[in-house]
Structure 1
Amino acid sequence: MSCILSVITFRIRGSFLSLFQSSGYAEVFTPECVQQDDEDKHKTIYRFVCPHAGQFQCSLTSLVFVMEGEGEVLYNIVSWDPGLGQLRPAGPLYNIDCSAGSVSQLHFQHCVIFSEENKDRLAVAHFTGGNVEIIQPLKVTETHVIIDIRDLSNFGLIWIKTKFGFPINGQVLLFLRSVTVEQKILNVHLLPGNVPVSEVQRWHLDKKYIETSSKCHLFPDRKYSLCCQPEDCEVQPVSEMFELDNFGPNYHPTFEVFLDVSIEEVRLGVLDKTRDGKEVWKRRRILLTAPSKGVELPVHRRIPETEFVNTHRDKLIERVSSVMAIADSLKSKNMINGEMYSKVHAAEPREEKMRLLLDALDSGGAAVKAEFCRLLKEKERYLVNELGPHL
């Protein structure tokens, strides 16, 4: 969904105050996620039913709503129009609506690291009726840009000074995907710090999100490279420019690390190529087998097999009796490799066999878990009916 601007008009309103303080106290809420467009599987609407007046912060997007009273707030991220001219996005573009019209103020998370030089570089673009209004902030804190509003539609942060010579708060996000029974790829994303992790996850549901400490400082329009141990792992590209415009809807990896499927741990760091290889994301230990909390999906968009396996892991270890029959079928389809199959076969007791098989499913991803569930329904129908009747 793009914002098509038939006529662009500019109105400047509000006064700009740059203060080194937080947005103040806000009640944190986790919104309900609903899908309203069956054709666009990635379009998710966040829904918040506000019970009373106050200040409320979304745990997924960090948006803050100042409410004059109760009301239902619906919001989602939409695409910036590529034909914005001199407007340069500084954050996601949010489509916001409130049934009662009770939102009086919005706080947008930014990624600026404050200094006297860059504290006044942000404004908010408000798109409505084919026009765009540039709203100067009422206040800018260390984390948020605050504006008063009169009506709702599409809002997004923009840069009002586009010459960059300063770092921003960035983040490194990791997603693991299986390619063959012998190889997997770790996708490494360099992104602005105000891109919601939940939005990136929605575009990579077929991959495993690897949680790690992700914060770093990045300079726009500089080249970065990835260092990786074991050193014989192939990384592509060798270096890449970090551009401060990746606010969705697509989130492509900056780097890819090609790994043997047996590798369970790597050490990664991000280097600034223009600063003699200075580490901006210091080398850290990444466990590829660690469990990860996924994004909360709308009920009818969840991947049933993945949810079933993750939810009932302990019960599956305890109660599945046909472990080797399932392992045999998965190996025949090249969904687990020979080394992992041998480990499952040799393990004792049966519970340990199942534990190892589930570890193999985690490495294989959603497709392997789906096949496991199909086999489980075939061989242990009563157990599946008890644990997951709607699988």
Structure 2
Amino acid sequence: MAQKAELLYWNVQWDESLLQQAGKTAAGPLFNITCSEDAVRQLHLPHCETKEALCVDGLLSVAHVFDDGISILKPMRITDTHVIVNVSHLSAFGLIWNFVKKSFKIPEAGQVLLFLRFKDTVPLKINVFLLHERIHLSEVKKQQGNDATYIETSSDCVLHIGQRYSVHCEPEGLKIQPNHAEFRNKLGPNYYPTFEVFLTANLEVVTLIVKDQDGNEAWRRDVFVPEKDRVSPEDSAHHKTKKDEDKLLLIRSEFIERVSAEGLDKIVDKLLERQIIIAGEMESGTCETKSRANKVRCIIDTVSRKGNDACRHLLDVLKEVDPTLFRVLVPMD
């Protein structure tokens, strides 16, 4: 800082097309920074690279992203923890890798995060996140919300970007999806589980193993299921209610009236991503109409026919896309 001033910063989404054109890939969050003019002279951006990676000349640099494009800044200095760069004016800054140099498959400091998903989920399931070490646990917790319990365990491991991983369980026979997933440099702002492990009733402990594409173990832990969250077979029918179906029915008319066309398009995209609806359903009947209201009616009816879990996903998507409207429509429990 050249003088005393208030500095504000927050995470924004990378534009992958800009990075690809420059032959770069994101190496950390993209920070949008604002401050009074001429107050900031230098930025220290945190990194989590290994000593081996730092020996690769030109691997790390800084992207300065602005309205008209992107410029690449050469660091003034790189320490064990930060990349230091001089700046003349502010907008968005983030660390980037040289894509060619990064292709040497340098090991990454990774983490495995586990969340037990219990609300309206029978059987219970464990969401398994494979993430870079730089992702804050608090951010992932925030997106999981109150419907999941964080399972505390030692999470450190070594992962390789671009390599495929799989999750295995002991005892065997538990349903796990997907079978394989590529480890990518997910830097937010959204964090979705890499794997889902569905538990049988009253299972007290399960061993989770993450293996790479060659079958080598990257991470193994014994995971204890909290007793308060277990559901016995006798109680499962009682616990699986139509609570979210009822919520959706109650807010139907206001939902149709209040949701914007832009918000509706985002909701449809996210429902397609989660495979709650399929493209064919959007191409038939009233879903294809140009009327916004009729399109909303079609989506609600299509989701409602698929049961309580699908209704819960629609409400979750509404909360994510338009949290203000969600608070207005959906009363707190």
| Cα distance, 1:144–1:290 mapped onto 2, change above 3 Å | farther
* Within-5 A mapping of 1:118-157: 118=56, 120-157=58-95
Is 1:287 the counterpart of 2:224 in the alignment? yes
Q: Distance in 1 between matches of 2:86 and 2:227?
A: 43
> 1:193 Cα deviation (Å)?
1.8
Aligned residue in 1 for 2:33: 96
Return the offset for 1:229.
2.1
- Shift of residue 270 of structure 1? 1.4
* Amino acid across the alignment from 2:8: L
C-alpha contact (below 8 Å) 2:8/2:33 kept by paired residues:
yes
1:83 counterpart (17, 20, 40): 17
Cα shift at 1:261: 4.6
What is the SS of the residue equivalent to 1:183?
Answer: coil
Deviation at 1:159, TM superposition (A): 0.9
Residue 231 of structure 1 is matched in structure 2 by 172
Aligned partners of 1:186 and 1:256 also within 8 Å: yes
- Counterpart in 2 of 1:248? 188
Residue 150 of structure 2 corresponds to residue 191 of structure 1: no
User: Is structure 2 residue 38 aligned with structure 1 residue 106?
Assistant: no
Q: Which runs of 5+ in 1 are unaligned?
A: 1-66, 292-330, 338-366, 368-389
d(CA) in 1 for partners of 2:26, 2:41: 23
Pick from 69, 72, 81 the counterpart of residue 6 of structure 2: 72
Equivalent pairs: percent with the same residue?
42
Partner Cα distance (1:217, 1:290) in 2: 31
TM-score (norm 2): 0.61
Aligned pairs, number:
231
Partner of 1:210: 151
Aligned equivalent of 2:274: none
Q: Could you say if the C-alpha distance between residues 119 and 264 of structure 1 is closer, same or farther in structure 2, counting changes exceeding 3 Å? A: farther
What amino acid is aligned across from residue 110 of structure 1 in structure 2? H
Q: CA distance change for structure 1 residues 221 and 73 in 2, over 3 Å: closer, same or farther?
A: same
| CA positional deviation for 1:69 | 4.5
Kindly state the Cα deviation for residue 191 of structure 1 after the two structures are TM-superposed: 1.4
| SS of residue matched to 2:139 | helix
Tell me the CA shift for residue 259 of structure 1: 0.9
CA distance 1:236–1:126, change in 2 (3 Å): same
More helix by share: 2
Say if 1:99 and 1:333 are closer, same or farther in 2 by CA, change over 3 A.
farther
Q: Aligned-residue CA RMSD in angstroms? A: 3.0
Greater CA drift, 121-130 or 109-118: 109-118
Aligned-pair CA distance for 1:135 = 1.0
Letter in 2 for 1:143: T
Q: Take 2:12 and 2:227, find their aligned partners in 1: how far apart are those partners?
A: 32
- Structure with bigger strand share is 1
Q: SS where residue 201 of structure 1 aligns?
A: helix
**Aligned partners of 1:210 and 1:290 also within 8 Å:** no
Q: Which runs of 5+ in 2 are unaligned?
A: 229-234, 242-311, 313-331
C-alpha distance after superposition, 1:234-259 (max 9, x if no partner): 21222222123x11222221111001
- Aligned counterparts of 1:159 and 1:124: Cα–Cα separation in 2: 9
Partner secondary structure for residue 202 of structure 1: helix
